[in-house]
């Protein structure tokens, strides 16, 4: 009996107790997407883009200007659009694969996209202008005044940006009499979902440019790139983009900081490592591109 009591106490002190169940961590995704995408049905948007044509005779093409921080993926987006429309990988705009904090784009260039195979003279009636990235240091990156001049059509093709001094009316790169075709018709801010928090100085530069575009009546929108790198759920399945709580917060924070409404911000993934196109990647790119065309066309009709 004594032995039994001692043995029972021994078991009591050395028995491993099962810890209470821990609460499950909150899900990183929402139960339902907060924005609809026609997954698996990109042909509707693709046809819309392919059939677009400006209604005004004096405007040959709708001009889309991309701006934003260094490394956000502006040139990569141009290449991605070309890949979607040509149904194969295409790189009309040189883009850097490094993580350098210095802009790869140095000159003001107009990028066209060939429309049909076998006919090098047929292009889509919209063009992209890539511009040197914005940096925190005032002595590097594109000068905000150059972006404002570009919006008004005063920057000539191949003008080389000078971060220290903006383009002047005496410079050969200055276009004194821009046509309606030279002006920017839609301004698109490109920012990365995978970058660290954008500094206050860069955010202020973007807000200033947005204000200038607003004064000119230019349509505006934004794209959030690298969504697969920023969110594991989206990396696993791109269709989780509008279920991701992290990405939605990133969009809301950017909207509050710069002033671009949520319904004018589009999350996308650019083609980077792929060698073949993907319908899901295409769907997000086409969704953003269709909005650019609609917004730019609205501005053209007001000129």
Task: Please give the helix or strand (H or E) that residue 154 lies within, else none.
Answer: none
pLDDT for 199 equals 76
195, 50, 67: which is closest to 125 by C-alpha?
50
Q: Which residues pair with 266 in a beta bridge?
A: 223
pLDDT for 7 equals 46
pLDDT for 97 equals 52
Coil, strand or helix at 265: strand
Which segments of the chain have a pLDDT < 70? 1-18, 93-105, 116-120, 132-141, 196-197
pLDDT for 2 equals 46
Cβ atoms of residues 222 and 261 within 8 Å: no
- C-alpha 152/C-alpha 236 separation (Å) is 42
pLDDT for 161 equals 83
pLDDT for 18 equals 65
pLDDT for 3 equals 46
Coil, strand or helix at 209: helix
Q: Which residues pair with 224 in a beta bridge?
A: 191, 267
Q: Give Dmax (Cα) for the chain.
A: 108
pLDDT for 99 equals 47
Cβ atoms of residues 87 and 113 within 8 Å: no
Within 13 Å and on the Cβ side, how many CA atoms surround 164? 0
Q: Which domains does the chain have, with CATH numbers?
A: 61-300 (3.40.50.300)
Phi and psi angles of residue 47, each rounded to the nearest 5 degrees, phi first: -65, -40
Cβ atoms of residues 78 and 130 within 8 Å: yes
158, 159, 146, 156: which is closest to 179 by C-alpha?
156
């Amino acid at each position: 009996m004594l032995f039994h009591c001692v043995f029972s106490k021994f078991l009591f002190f050395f028995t491993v107790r099962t810890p209470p169940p821990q609460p499950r961590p909150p899900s990183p995704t929402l139960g339902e997407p907060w924005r609809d995408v026609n997954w698996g049905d990109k042909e509707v948007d693709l046809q819309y883009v392919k059939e677009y044509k400006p209604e005004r005779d004096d405007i040959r093409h709708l001009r889309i200007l991309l701006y934003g921080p260094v490394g956000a993926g502006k040139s990569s987006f141009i290449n991605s659009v070309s890949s979607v429309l040509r149904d194969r990988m295409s790189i009309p705009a040189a883009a850097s694969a490094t993580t350098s904090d210095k802009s790869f784009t140095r000159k003001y260039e107009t990028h066209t996209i060939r429309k049909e195979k076998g006919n090098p003279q047929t292009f889509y009636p919209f063009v992209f202008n890539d511009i040197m990235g914005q940096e925190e240091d005032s002595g590097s990156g594109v000068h905000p005044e150059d972006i404002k001049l570009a919006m008004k059509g005063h920057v000539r093709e191949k003008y080389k940006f000078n971060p220290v001094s903006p383009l002047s009316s005496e410079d050969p790169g200055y276009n004194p009499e821009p046509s309606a075709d030279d002006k920017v018709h839609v301004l698109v801010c490109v920012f990365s979902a995978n970058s660290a928090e954008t500094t206050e100085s860069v955010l202020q530069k973007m807000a200033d440019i947005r204000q200038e575009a607003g004064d000119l009546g230019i349509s505006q929108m934004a794209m959030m790139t690298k969504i697969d790198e920023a969110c594991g759920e989206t990396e696993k399945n791109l269709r989780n983009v509008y279920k991701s709580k992290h990405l939605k917060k990133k969009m809301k924070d950017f909207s509050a900081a710069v002033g671009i409404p949520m319904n004018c911000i589009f999350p996308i993934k650019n083609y980077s490592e792929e060698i073949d196109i993907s319908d899901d990647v295409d769907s997000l790119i086409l969704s953003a591109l269709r909005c650019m065309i609609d917004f730019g066309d609205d501005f053209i009709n007001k000129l």
